[in-house]
Structure 1
Amino acid sequence: MTSDSDKNAYPEPPRQTPVVDKQTALPNPALILTKLFYYSVDLPVTTFKELVDGIQSGNKQKYYHQKFRRVPDLTECTEGDYLCYYEAEMQWRRDYKVDQEIVKVVQERLRACQQREGASYQQNCANEIQQFSEVAKAYQSRCMYHPPDMPTIQCYQ
């Protein structure tokens, strides 16, 4: 320090490092419990999980929509070919459910447009109305032909 500096404003640093609190001879019980838990529970479980994940990563299955091959229509099956009858009926049922969902989605879009546009929905929602009428017509044409054991009532829910 220079001689012209004020000693009260800039006191000298301490000459010795402060004494650290002395630790007891007994270890901390919380530290003992956490280490006991880690080595007895956490480490074995984590190791086992990583081992299982490593094994499963080799044969990991991805989820995709199941793709079915197209089969002949029921009218194209030869007489007495019950497997063809079954496959055609199952394909018809899958197509029927898909058509139902398509009608629901288009109907929701039309309702949303009607809600959004209000009284002038006839003009502003012409595309949605046209699309809904086409989808409904296609759905009704699918309902006209159905396998004999499927009730017709499902077509008009």
Structure 2
Amino acid sequence: MPADYDKGAYPEPPRQTPVVDKQTALPNPALILSKLFYYSVDLPVTTFRDAVDSIRAKNKIVYYHQKFRRVPDLTECKEGDYPCYYEAEMQWRRDYKVDQEIVKVIQERLRACQQREGHSYQQNCSKEIHRFMY
């Protein structure tokens, strides 16, 4: 350390943390109420929720992974078999929605390719055009 060190410019930090001066001997009521709320309400509810969440995480069913069994076509149903008619109709509607989504994806890819390639899209986007047309 240099000899011309100025102790007034750089005072030493205090050696001990100052003690808080309590004004009263009574405990803080806000602290008591917060601890009472924590142990009587918050802790049991949080513990219960964590237990339920851990059970749910093991048995989680994702709605978009629902699998439907394939049913016979409407032409394969026997005459007067109304449940078969209904199931075939619902199968057709599900298939139709899936086909619509596939067409949307192909259209989006074709539009993106056309936007990206500009005037030469017919040459460079032939794969997308072929998928869309056939």
The size of the alignment, in residue pairs, is: 121
The aligned counterpart of 2:61 is: 62
Q: Kindly tell me: are residues 71 and 52 of structure 1, through their superposed partners in 2, closer, same or farther at Cα, counting changes over 3 Å?
A: closer
Q: 1:83-102 residue pairs with structure 2 within 5 A?
A: 83-102=83-102
Structure with larger Rg: 1
Q: Kindly tell me: are residues 59 and 118 of structure 1, through their superposed partners in 2, closer, same or farther at Cα, counting changes over 3 Å?
A: closer
CA distance in 2, matches of 1:76, 1:128: 36
The aligned counterpart of 2:125 is: 125
Normalising to structure 1: TM-score of the pair? 0.61
Q: Which amino acid aligns with 1:79?
A: E
Normalising to structure 2: TM-score of the pair? 0.70
Shift, 1:53, TM fit: 3.9
**Structure 2: which 5+ runs fail to align?**
8-15
**Bigger relative CO (Cα 8 Å, ≥ 6 apart):** 1
**Structure 1: which 5+ runs fail to align?**
1-5, 11-16, 135-157
CA-atom RMSD, angstroms?
3.0
Residue identity over aligned pairs, in percent, reads: 72
CA distance in 1, matches of 2:50, 2:17: 47
| Residues 26-70 of structure 1 deviation map (CA, whole Å, 9 limit, x = unaligned) | 33454334323312331232233245446x449724225221222
Q: 1:1-157 residue pairs with structure 2 within 5 A?
A: 20=19, 22-24=21-23, 25-53=25-53, 56-57=55-56, 60-63=59-62, 65-134=65-134
Shift, 1:133, TM fit: 0.9
CA distance in 1, matches of 2:52, 2:93: 40
